[in-house]
Amino acid sequence: MYIIAGLGNPGIQYAGTRHNMGFNVVTRIADDYNMQITIREHKALCAKGFIEGQKVLLAMPQTYMNLSGQSIRELVNYYKIDPRTRLMVIYDDISMDVGRIRMRAKGSAGGHNGIKNIIAELKTDEFPRMKVGVGKNPEGRELTSHVLGRFSDSENEIMRKMLARGSDACRDYILYGIDEAMNRYNN
């Protein structure tokens, strides 16, 4: 089984914000593979199904971004998966241009509080992740306002294309592993 977890904040007030791109990619994957995100377990909204014959659990932690690791740890432990080879965490990145994807096999949190918490809860930084570029914080704007802000119309068009690419990247991770997925999507 694979766990694909998208990070974000629960609640209608956060829907469509830059910080919820992990939720958006997971929702696109669910749509692409006819999964219903209706299961509540381990502090997450989840869906179960198959991608290319492989059993997959999609998860959107409901703990708010900064405590995402609580839910991820519970899921990893309950389903007894190896996070190094069976987990994918998807989250927003303000250091990358809007719509850009970058996958990594492991690494630091890079200042992202959700990833910091996952590393602390799993006690390792060795888990695959997909960063989704949401654009740099404009000079003089408070960071919170930026990540909890919404995309412009032109950015929304870019992000719609990114959602399809993000879904494909997760499929390729499952089919070919993180190294091949990085080769295909990190350019």
Measure the CA–CA gap between 160 and 73, rounded to whole angstroms: 30
Residue 120: its H or E element: helix 113-122
User: Catalytic site residue 42?
Assistant: no
Separation CA 3–CA 48 (nearest Å)? 9
Q: Is 40 exposed, middle or buried (0-12, 13-18, 19+ CB in 10 A)?
A: exposed
The amino acid that residue 10 corresponds to is P
Active-site hit among 19, 42, 112, 146: 19
3-state secondary structure of 134: coil
The residues assigned a catalytic role are 19
